[in-house]
Structures are given as structure tokens and as C-alpha cells.
């Protein structure tokens, strides 16, 4: 087996196994995941050297988002490890120094949770490496297709397991009896909202696998032929995923999945429209998301006993913390400790996340760094959307990348699913594949049926067996 092909299948297996140990949201699980991605990243240059003539993606398309990410990671590291006189310490370290009878300079840092920040940096690095490896593998169209197909099948398997475990007596999660969300399907995750996000990503992957196979054929003559091909199989994989998504009972997860499907359809259909219609449709979709979030906030404000009201109170406290330290933040991973100190008496529950990723990032990293990280993701979204508009051959993958990003972005308004490693890894694999397809340079000209010329990429022109990931 060729080195790149072997590397790809190990990479896909790693991404596919991420949800198995409780969404990889345990120290041992995410540490093993980060270690696996680090090893695969080290081995990738060796695979490239063994196949020098194979297609690959360059660094150029990732220059701006890559630099933005590295700056944010550098800032998080500076919050954690730089000591005076290079940075000023947070005033709370003065109390710590007094309790320890040491000088503030000996312990003072900008960040208030150094160990949590170190863990956060490891996770962020793991997600970035996943994105990078998917981006590189997407230089081969067949490997890009195989990754999306594989994620669709894996999502169906997790959905089937979730349906079986949900109907067991007592309800189970892996080998353990469920201790949370006993009346909701969670598959191998603990939280129903987290699994709903993963199921939404799986539904998008299944949709992309179906649409990609339906493209380019006659509507009637090829429909029956598609029913005898893998198209039907991938269409069927969506059924248990949809059933599991509904059984989660997660309104936010289902709404985010619906937004993701709408963005996927927008990416596929809007290139046929004129710019005015395209802009109106995009604005309408974005406006619907904003309106829904405002309705959620209004519900929390007018119904004090609701779950939305609890989150709204957390949002207010978090916004106050941001206002106290808007530029430097409190340190990556510091939300649980800082919020516990600032929590008013009206909030009795312990909150480990803000249930709004944007507020939590701004509180921990500071507004400039949070905007830097979000701008890197927005750049990837924009690049994929541009590819969906301009390059028909990359449209399905590019639209999938936009849809997956929209799904997690919308759900991050009201929950913390992107802080679950398995979900962040899966999104990074999809987004990296989409960005890699968008970045592929189209080369060469070949003659299609009827003497018509069509442009093909290097990996399409290579003599390979059908259905293989090279």
C-alpha cells in the first residue's frame, strides 16, 4: 500500500474513533487523540518524500488563517508562561503570593489557570493538526471523497448504536449506565446537545456523499441506475442519523443541523443565481439565525424559570467579566475558576462553560485574540464559499465545509459542543478537506465525451482504480 494511502486510512480511523470514548472528553482520551495527530503529522513529510510525484496542497491558501491561529496560540502561551517584566501579572496573583509568602513576581502571570491553559493549547494544536492533515489529503480527490464517505458511514454506526443503547433497560452509554440525560439519546456522548451536533455533521456528510454521486447525470435516465449504486447506500445512512438526531430532543442541535443543511443547499444552488438573488438569500439566512437567537434571549428575559433564563444570567456575568479585562482576558481555560469567583447569589448552579463560545473566548483570551481566532475560521468559510461559487468540480466539498462551519457556529451561540474534542476534530477534518479541495490548482486539459474539453486536476488524470483512496 502506498505511504499516503496508508497514512490516510490511519488518519480517517483516528477521526472516526474520536467520538467513541465519551466524545474524547476525558483527559486520557483527548491526550491519546492529540498524540495520534502529532505522530501522524510527523509521519506525513516522510510519506510525501516516498511519493514525490503525487499532488499536494501548498501553504499559500492557509497563510492568513494560519498566521492568525499561530498568533492566538502564541498569545495564549504568553498568558500562561510569560512572567514579569515581560508581562504584567493579574492582580489576583498578589493574593496568591501573599498566601504563599512569596513575591508576586515569582508566581504572577496574566492567566489565572495555567494548567487549564496548557491543556487548552494541546487541544487547539490537535485540532489544527487535524485540519492540516485533512487539507493535505484533499489534494487527492479520491481521498477527499473517501473521507466524507467514511464520516457518513461512521455517523450512521454511532446513530445505530445510540438508538440501541437508548432503548435498552436501563439506558446505557458504552458499558456504563447513564447518569445524565437518561430520557434522551446521546450515543457515545454524555451530553445530548453534543451528540446532536455530531449527528448534524454526520447528516451533512451523508448528504454530500449522495449529492456528489447524483451530479452530472440525466435526471430520469440515471436515477434508477443510482438506486443500484452506492448512492442508495449513503442515502440510507442518513435515516438512522436523522432518527438519532430527533431522539436527542436537542432543540439547539436540530436547529443548527437545519441551518447547516440550508447552507449546504445554498452553496450548491446559489451559483446558478445572479448576484442580487444570491446576496438576498444569504442575507435572509443570516437574518433568520440572528432573529432566532434574539427570540431565545427574549424568552430567557421573559421566563425567569426557563433554561434560557439560566443561560442569559450566565451571559450577563460573562459579559461583565469581559468588560473588566477586555484586552488581555483571564487566560485560556480559566472560565470555570473565574466565573465561580464572580457568580452572584442568584446563580446557584455550577457552570463549567459559558454556553456561548464567543463570550467564553473573549473572556479567556481577550477580545482581540478571540477575534483573531474567529477570523481564521471565517477566512476558511469565505474561501470555501468562494470555491462553491466559482468551481463546479469543488462545489460539493466546498459547500460541505461551509455547512459544517455554519452548523457549529450557530450551535456555539447557545452551547459548548465545539469544546468537545470529538466534535472539534470532526469539524476540523471536514473543514480541512473542504479547504484542501478549494485550494487545489486545476491543471491540464482532457477530452470528454463528444469531443468536449474539460479541465481535470493531476489526481484525476492519474491512472487509478475506481473507488480507491490514493
Distance CA 368, CA 254 (A): 31
Per the listing, cell 496548557 goes with 118
Q: Which of 349, 338, 342, 336 is nearest to 416 (CA)?
A: 336
Largest Cα–Cα separation, the chain? 85
Q: What is the pTM of this model?
A: 0.90
Three-class secondary structure of residue 172 per DSSP: strand
Three-class secondary structure of residue 455 per DSSP: strand
How does DSSP assign 303-316, residue by residue? -TTSHHHHHHHHHH
List the pLDDT tens digit at each of the 470 positions of the chain.
Answer: 788 999 999 999 999 999 999 999 999 999 999 999 999 999 999 988 887 777 778 888 999 999 999 999 999 998 888 766 555 666 666 666 666 566 555 555 677 888 999 999 999 999 999 999 999 999 999 999 999 999 999 999 999 999 999 998 888 899 898 999 999 999 999 999 999 999 999 999 999 999 988 875 555 555 556 665 788 899 999 999 999 999 999 999 999 999 999 999 999 998 888 888 989 999 999 999 999 999 999 999 999 989 999 999 999 999 999 999 999 999 999 999 999 989 998 888 889 999 999 999 999 999 999 999 999 999 999 999 999 998 887 899 999 999 999 999 999 999 999 999 999 999 999 999 999 998 874 333 333 333 333 334 433 333 333 334 54
Judge contact between 11 and 136, C-beta under 8 A: no
Distance CA 250, CA 229 (A): 34
Q: Which of 169, 170, 244, 232 is nearest to 203 (CA)?
A: 244
Distance CA 405, CA 420 (A): 15
Amino acid at each position: 500500500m502506498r505511504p499516503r494511502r496508508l497514512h490516510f486510512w490511519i488518519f480517517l480511523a483516528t477521526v472516526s474513533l474520536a467520538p467513541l470514548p465519551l466524545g474524547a472528553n476525558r483527559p486520557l482520551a483527548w491526550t491519546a487523540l492529540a498524540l495520534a495527530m502529532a505522530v501522524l503529522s510527523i509521519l506525513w513529510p516522510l510519506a510525501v518524500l516516498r511519493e514525490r510525484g503525487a499532488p499536494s496542497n501548498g501553504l499559500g491558501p492557509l497563510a492568513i488563517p494560519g498566521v492568525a491561529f499561530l498568533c492566538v496560540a502564541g498569545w495564549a502561551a504568553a498568558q500562561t508562561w510569560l512572567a514579569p517584566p515581560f508581562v504584567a501579572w493579574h492582580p489576583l496573583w498578589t493574593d496568591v503570593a501573599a498566601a504563599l509568602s512569596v513575591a508576586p513576581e515569582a508566581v504572577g502571570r496574566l492567566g489565572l489557570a495555567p494548567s487549564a491553559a496548557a491543556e487548552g493549547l494541546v487541544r487547539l494544536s490537535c485540532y489544527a493538526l487535524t485540519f492540516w492533515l485533512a487539507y493535505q489529503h484533499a489534494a487527492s480527490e479520491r481521498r477527499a471523497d473517501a473521507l466524507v464517505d467514511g464520516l457518513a458511514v461512521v455517523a450512521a454506526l454511532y446513530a445505530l448504536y445510540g438508538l440501541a443503547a437508548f432503548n435498552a433497560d436501563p439506558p446505557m452509554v458504552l458499558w456504563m449506565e447513564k447518569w445524565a440525560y437518561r430520557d434522551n439519546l446521546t450515543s457515545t456522548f454524555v451530553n445530548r446537545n453534543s451528540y446532536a451536533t455530531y449527528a448534524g455533521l454526520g447528516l451533512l456528510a451523508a448528504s454530500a456523499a449522495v449529492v456528489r454521486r447524483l451530479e452530472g447525470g440525466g435526471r430520469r435516465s440515471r436515477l434508477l441506475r443510482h438506486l443500484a449504486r452506492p448512492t442508495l447506500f449513503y442515502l440510507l445512512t442518513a435515516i438512522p442519523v436523522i432518527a438519532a438526531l430527533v431522539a436527542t430532543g436537542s432543540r439547539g442541535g436540530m436547529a443548527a443541523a437545519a441551518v447547516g443543511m440550508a447552507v449546504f443547499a445554498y452553496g450548491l444552488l446559489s451559483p446558478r443565481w445572479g448576484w442580487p438573488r444570491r446576496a438576498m438569500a444569504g442575507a435572509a439566512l443570516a437574518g433568520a439565525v440572528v432573529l432566532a437567537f434574539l427570540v431565545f434571549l427574549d424568552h430567557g428575559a421573559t421566563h425567569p424559570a426557563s433554561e434560557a433564563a439560566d443561560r442569559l444570567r450566565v451571559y450577563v456575568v460573562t459579559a461583565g467579566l469581559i468588560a473588566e479585562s477586555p484586552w488581555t482576558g483571564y487566560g485560556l481555560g480559566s472560565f470555570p475558576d473565574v466565573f465561580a469567583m464572580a457568580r452572584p447569589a442568584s446563580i446557584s448552579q455550577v457552570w463549567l462553560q459559558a454556553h456561548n463560545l464567543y463570550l467564553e473566548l473573549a473572556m479567556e483570551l481577550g477580545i482581540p485574540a478571540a477575534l483573531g481566532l474567529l477570523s481564521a475560521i471565517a477566512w476558511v468559510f469565505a474561501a470555501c464559499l468562494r470555491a462553491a461559487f466559482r468551481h463546479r468540480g469543488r462545489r460539493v466539498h466546498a459547500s460541505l465545509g461551509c455547512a459544517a462551519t455554519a452548523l457549529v457556529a450557530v450551535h456555539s451561540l447557545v452551547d459548548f459542543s465545539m469544546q468537545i474534542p470529538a466534535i472539534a476534530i470532526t469539524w476540523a477534518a471536514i473543514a480541512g478537506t473542504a479547504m484542501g479541495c478549494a485550494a487545489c490548482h486545476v491543471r491540464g486539459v482532457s477530452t470528454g465525451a463528444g469531443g468536449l474539453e474539460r479541465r481535470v486536476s493531476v489526481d484525476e488524470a492519474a491512472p487509478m482504480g475506481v473507488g480507491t483512496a490514493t
